[in-house]
Amino acid sequence: MQLFSLKGRIALVTGSSRGIGLALARALGEAGATLVLNGRDEGALGTARDTLSAEGFTTHTARFDVTDPDAVRTAVDGIERDVGPIAVLVNNAGLQRRAPLEDFPVADWKTIMSTNVDSVFLVAQAVARHMIARKAGRIINVCSVQSELARPNIAPYTASKGAVKMLTKGMATDWGKHNIQVNGLAPGYFKTELTDALVRDEAFSAWLANRTPAGRWGNVAELGGAAVFLASDAASFVNGHILYVDGGITASL
């Protein structure tokens, strides 16, 4: 089990004050990592830090906007200086907007692309510059089943997550020679604060249960093992892979 240990490693998780990001941070902490949580809401970030600290994890916070190039560089350099070398980066920050494509506001398109795609590039680039110097690192980009599949009214989100999938492969190709492994973690449909309305929608939940071989929604804790694997020495020769944790929804018609 030593292959899966993250003891002594620092992990930065973006968008980790709630939901999937918080669950991924908790899983990395359980494997021994020192955690750096990121978000824009100072109150939510502090609550997440206090929660994880009370659970026994060494937890720091870094409040910065992942879409702001200068803020990203300053924050990453500050973490490296004040906390220590970032060994694991999880690019989780993202958002969703829904509307028929023919009516989709241009401003919302730009917001989705900035948050879901630009942030992955900006934070990974800033962190990778330090990892390259050390010749070691793990980057996990959070993709989605929408990296492969579309649904009505979310075409821009689907485009953004498809871009993250291919950016992951590009990062793996460019940075593999520096002993940096870059992989994607692609959740299916999970119960979170952001999906609560869909969970409570009986028609949608029935459709999802029928569509998914597992027959149910996922629980965020079920993403933890995949994240720890990709962050650990157990995945030392896994690079450019997209790991779908989706109850089988991408495997079946």
Q: Write out the catalytic residue numbers.
A: 157
- Any idea what the Cα angle at residue 32 is, between residues 29 and 35, rounded to 5°? 45
Amino acid, single-letter form, for residue 52: L
Neighbours of 149 (CB within 10 A): 14
For residues 253 and 212, give the distance between their C-alpha atoms in angstroms, rounded to a whole number: 9
Contact 94, 15 (CB under 8 A): yes
Q: Which helix (H) or strand (E) holds 64?
A: none
Contact 22, 49 (CB under 8 A): no
Contact 30, 52 (CB under 8 A): no
Q: Can you read off the two tokens belonging to residue 33? A: 């990592």
**Rg, the chain, Cα only:** 17
Match 């991924």 to its residue by tokens.
24
User: Packing angle between helix 19-30 and helix 42-54, nearest 10 degrees?
Assistant: 30
Q: Which helix (H) or strand (E) holds 17?
A: none
DSSP letter for each residue of 200-219: H-HHHHHHHHHHSTT-SPEE
